[in-house]
Every structure is written in structure tokens, then in C-alpha cells.
Amino acid sequence: MIDIHTHILPYVDDGSSSINKSIELIKYEINQGVTDIFVTPHYFLLRGYVSMYEDNKKIFEDLTREVKKQKLNINLHLGNEIYYTQDTLQYLKEKRVIPLGYSKYVLIEFSLYNDTGDIPEAINCLTAIGYIPIIAHPERYKYLTNIIDYKMMKRMGALIQINVGAILGEYGNKVKKGVFKLIEENIVDFVASDIHDFRKNGLKKGYEIIKKKFTQTIADKLFNNNAIFE
């Protein structure tokens, strides 16, 4: 599996408090069947998560060395989960924040509660300069209740990443049913863990649920989407 949304880089956000904790989370990912992890620390000014690429890179290199030292069979890739603001394009240009790995895919999030109109603006602005926006866990956005909203995002050029917790029912049955409808309509592009120290990875169980409810082909598409490497 390929997990494009994780918070296992230590010291920089609410994901991991130490290298040892990060290694523990990585081992958990490996046990779930993950082969590639995109390390995506928050860049979210209002929450105080403002570590920049150069700082993240140094910590990432330390983490990678420890992974190699422990001979863990995993591939790590650095990125960001970026809370979108009008400054995001400038931050990408300055390399305060980065896409996923060496790709053009940018993982962006928005307010969970308030529809500020930023989603269409973000998609337009990012696609206009060659990026491909991936909307992080939109099933958690309280104001996105109509499948038409998702279809609009897709038509504009965005991709959709769902948290596996939604498939497992962790956000309630209504959200779970909504996510199944999105999958049925071929709207979801990625399922990821969004793993933190306080939020574990249920990818293996989620994969089995999707395989049983839909098909193995669909499960493979959602949990092993390798478009970022193409």
C-alpha cells in the first residue's frame, strides 16, 4: 500500500513527539502492508505548525537514517499537508512548503467547519501553475454534504483523498455511507491513514472492507494509487 497522508515526522506538529515514536508509527504502517509513506507535516499558521521545508528535511534525513539503521523495509518520501491560504502559492514558490515527494501533487486541507469559498480558488490557482491539488479528507468538512460539490472539485482538476477512518466508521455512520457513495461514483482517488500518535492506521482493515463491498480492483486503486510516482 501507499500512504500519502501521515504525521510521523517528529517535533514539527501534533503527529509524533520523538524519533522513537516515529519509528513505532512506521513499524505499525509496515505491519498494515504499507510499502511507501509520504511524510506530510502540517503547515498551518493558525495552529502554530510552521516548520519549513529546510527544517523538515533535516529531521526527515535523521529519521531516514534511523529507518536504515533498524533495517525497516519502507520507502519514505517528504511532503506537506498545507492548510490553504492566499499565501500558499507564494510559500510553494519559496519552498517553505513542498508537494508530495518530487511530484506536482500538492496535499491541501481546508477548514473542517466553515465554508470560506477557498476550495475552488485553491484548485484554480494551483492547477493554473501546473500543480495537481489533492483535497485532504473532505469527508470531514461539515459543509460538503452534496455529491455535486465533489464532482465540481473533480471537474476542476482536483483529486480526492479520504481518511481510512471514515471507511471504518470512526466519523459516524452518515459519513461512512457518504464515503461509500463517493467510491461508488468513482470520485475517490486515494485512501490514506492520516496517522498520528493518537490516530492509528487501519489501512489493512479498510482495504478488506472495500474489497468485500466493491471489488479488489477498486480496493487496489484506492489503497495502492501510484500516480504520484508516474
Residues 63-107: tens digit of each pLDDT: 999 999 999 999 999 999 999 999 999 999 999 999 999 899 999
Residue-level pLDDT at 144:
94
Q: Which residues of the chain have pLDDT under 70?
A: 199
122 in Cβ contact with 88 (< 8 Å): yes
3 in Cβ contact with 203 (< 8 Å): yes
Of 85, 91, 27, 24, which is closest to residue 56 (Cα–Cα)? 91
161 in Cβ contact with 191 (< 8 Å): yes
Residue-level pLDDT at 219:
98
Q: Rounded to the nearest 5°, which phi and psi values hold at 106?
A: -115, 120
Residue-level pLDDT at 178:
97
Residue-level pLDDT at 201:
75
Q: What is the pTM assigned to this prediction?
A: 0.97
**Measured between alpha carbons, how far is 74 from 30 in angstroms, rounded to an integer?**
7
Q: Rounded to the nearest 5°, which phi and psi values hold at 42?
A: -60, 140
Residue-level pLDDT at 197:
86
Domain boundaries, the chain: 2-229
- Which CATH number is 2-229 given? 3.20.20.140
Residue-level pLDDT at 230:
84
Location of C-alpha cell 515526522: 9
Q: Rounded to the nearest 5°, which phi and psi values hold at 4?
A: -90, 0
